[in-house]
Structure 1
Amino acid sequence: MSQLTICFIIFILTIIGYCSGLYSLASIALTSMMCLTLTGCLGAKEALGYFANSNVIMVGGMCVVAAGFNRTKFCTNLATGIAQMSRGSVTKMMIGYVLIGVLLSQFIQSPVVVFGIVYPMLLATSESMGLKASKVLFPVGVAIICTCCILPLGAGATVAAELNGYLESYGYTQFTVGLTDPMKGRLPMLIFSIIYFGIFAIKFAPDEPVVKTMEMEVKKTAKGNLSNFAEIAAIVIFFGDALALMFAKKLGLDSWEITVIGALLMILTNVLKPKEAAQSLPLNILFLIVGSNAIAAALSNTGAGEFIGNNVIKLVNAVGYSNYLLGLIFFIIPFILTQFMSNRGTMLIFHPIAIATCASMGGNPVGLMILIQAACLSSFMTPMSTSATPYIMGLGGYDIPSMIKQGIGFAAVSCVVSVAWTMTIFPVL
C-alpha cells in the first residue's frame, strides 16, 4: 500500500472523527498526526516542528494579549458604546465589525492575526447584547478570511507581483498582472462578503455553541480591578500590538514575535499574573492547529496535490477550452483542495497548470490565476483550511457540519459570482 493511499485513509478517518463528536477536535487532530508519523507519511522531526509553528505561537500570544485587554474597563465601555451606537440592532453591530475586520484584512496578510485583534471586542459587544459567541464569530471570522488582500493596500499590494513571479518562472511573459487586476477580479466578492456576513450570515449561525467552546479560561481572567497604570498599559499594549502587526515588515519583526512581546508586556506590567496568562492559552485550539497543519502537510508531502493536479489536466483536455468552464474548474477544485491542504501549496500546484493550459492555446492566464488565488484564500470549512479556522471553531463552539451548514450557501454564490465576473473581464481568449 502506497503512502499516498495510507494518507488518504487516515485523512478520511480524521474527517469522520471530526464529524462524530466523540472526542475533541484537538484530540482527533493529534491522533491523526501521530498515525501519519508512525506510518511514515510525515517525518518525526517535521511533526515536532508544528508545535513550534509560527501560527501556533502567534495565536497563543494573541490570546494572552486579548485576555489582558478583556480585563480593562475600556474594553467593557467600548463594547457597551458600540452596542449603544447600534441602538440594539444586531445587524448594525455586525456590519460594523465586519467592516473593521475586512479593512484590517487588507493591511495584515494573516487572517488569524486580524481575527485575534477583532474578536475580544466582538465578544464583549455581543455579550452586552445577549448574544453567544456562536452567533457572531463565524460571520466576522469568515469575512476576514475571504476578503484577505483584495485591495492593493499593504500586503494586498504584493499579490500582483507574486502572480507575475509565477508567469516569469514558467517563461510565459506575454501577459502580466497589473497592480489593480487582483482587486478588479475580486471586488464583487468584497462587496458581496460585506453584505452577506454583515446582514444575512448571522441568521444561519447557531444560537448556542454546537460543541463546548474554548473561551472559558480566557473569560476567567476577564474580570478584576486593575490599577490605573495597568489599565492604561493593557490598552496601549493591545492597540500597540495591532499597529505593530500592520507594520511588521517595516519593523523587521515576524508576527509571532510581536504577539509574544505583547503577551510578556501584559505580565510585566501586572495586567495579568503568570498563572492567569497561562490559563488564557487555549491549548485545544493550539493543538488543533498543530494537528491540522500536520495533516495538510502530509497530504502535500505524499503527492495528493500532484495526483489531483494531473487529473485536472485530463479534465481540462476532456472538456475543451470553454472560457467559463475553465474558470469554474480552476475555482472549484482549488477551493475544495484548500480545505485540506495549505493555500500556498495549492496555489503552487494550480498556477503552473493554469499557465500551461493558457500557453497551449495562446490564451490570457490572468483571470484563471486570480480565480485560483481567490479560491485558495477563501477556504474556511475545515480546520486544515487555514489557521484562522480552528481559532474560529474553538472560540465559537462549531464543529465541521455546522461550519459547512453556515458556509455552503456563501461558497456556492461566491463561486458563481467570482467565475462569472472574473472570466468576463479577464477572458482566456
Structure 2
Amino acid sequence: MALVAAGLVSVLVAGCSSPGEASADDPTTDGGPVALDFAWWGDTSRAERYEEAVALFEKENPNVDVRTRFAGWGDYWTARNTEAAGNSLPDVMQMDVAYLTEYATNGQIAALDDYLGAEIATDGLPESLLPAAQIDGETYAIPTSTNTLATIVNTDLLATLGVEPPASDATWDEYDEFLTDVATAGRSTTPVVYGSVDYTQILWLFQIWLGQQGKTLFEDDGLGFEKADLAQWWERAASLHENAVLLPPDRQTQLEGADALGVGETAADISWDNFLVRFSEGTDEGDLNLVPLPTDDPDERGLFLKPSLMLALSANSEHPAEAAALIDFLTNSPEVGEIFGMSRGVPASSAALAGFEPTGLDLQILEYEESLTPYLTNSPPPPVAGFGTLETAFVRISQDLSYGSMSVDQAVDEWFAEAESVLVQ
C-alpha cells in the first residue's frame, strides 16, 4: 500500500516524525496554543479524511494545534514501540484491540474513566462494545467504529461462471463445496478464477469458528482450545489446496498486495465487512455482496462486533483533557461521521452515524451488521498481551502449510510452542 503520495512528500520533516511516518510541521508551543500529537495507521485516503476532521476540531478549539502523522500497519507499530520505550508516545494514538492489553498493562496508555461522561461521551456507544476496550474494569480506549467478518462474493462473476452464491445458512462443508464449484468452472476462464484465498489463515475467523463449537480462543490467560481443534481447522484447507480450489500461495505473492477478489481472480473472500468498499475499488466490474459466515448451527454463529479502530491516550500526555476532547470529537462528531462514512467501519457512535445517510456499499455494510443483531455476542475482552505476535505466527505457519512445507501436526505443534512462549511471559 502506498504510504505517501507525491502530493504529501512535502510534509515529511526530518527529525520530527518517527521512521516510516508522514508528519505535519511542528507548531511553536512556547507561549502559544496547546500542541497535541496524533498518530494513526492507514493509507493516504484515510490521512486525507483525518486531516479534514482535525481541521474541524482545531476550528472549534482554536487554542489547540494538532500535529499529525501516519504510517502503514507495520511501520506504525515499530514507531509506537520505539516511542513507548522512551515514554514519548503521541498524545492520541489509533489503537488496535490486539495491542491494547500490552500497552495498558505496561502503563503506556492512560485509563480514560475520569473523562467518560465529561470530555468523552459514551452514551451513544453500544454497551456490548465497551468490554473490548476494558481491562480489569477500567477503560483504556474508545472504539470509533465496528466491523465483523463476512463472506464477500462477486455475484456478477458467479453468474458468469454459472455458480449460485452460498446460502445464508451454509455449513462449512457446503461452503467448501461452493468454492470447489467456482474453481471447477473458473479453470477455463482468463484469468483463471479460484474459489477464494485460504480462509484458514485468519486467526479471528478461527476464533469465530471456535465460538461456534462452544469454545474460546483464550481462557484464564491461557488457550481455551486444544491441538485437535486447530488441527481440524487447518485440515480444512489441505484438500482445497490439493484440488486447486484456493488461490495458489505463489500467485497471491505475485499480486503484490492487490486483493484477489478485487482483481477478479477469486469469486469470494472471507474478510472484514468494511473491506467491501476496498475490494470494490479494485475492479471496474463485478457486483460485490455480503453473505453471513458459514456455520454448522445457524443459532450458534460465534459472531461479535469487533472495534475496527480505537483511540487511546498516552499516559505521558501533558494535555490529557484536550487529548480526551480530541478523542471525543473523532468518535462522536456527526461531521466526522460524514467525512469517514464507513471507511473506518460502521461508526460506533450513534451521533456520528446520524451525521450521514448511508447509501450503496455503505448501506450494505450497515444492513449486514444490523441483520446479525440476534446472533451477536458481547465483544470479547481485549486479547492477551502478545496477541499480535501470535496472530503473526498463525499467518506465517498457515502460509507454510499452504506451500506444503510441513504437515498439519507439525504446524499445530509449532504454533502451540509459540503460544506457550508468549503466554508465560
TM-score scaled by length of structure 1: 0.29
Choose between structure 1 and 2: higher strand proportion. Answer: 2
Choose between structure 1 and 2: higher helix proportion. Answer: 1
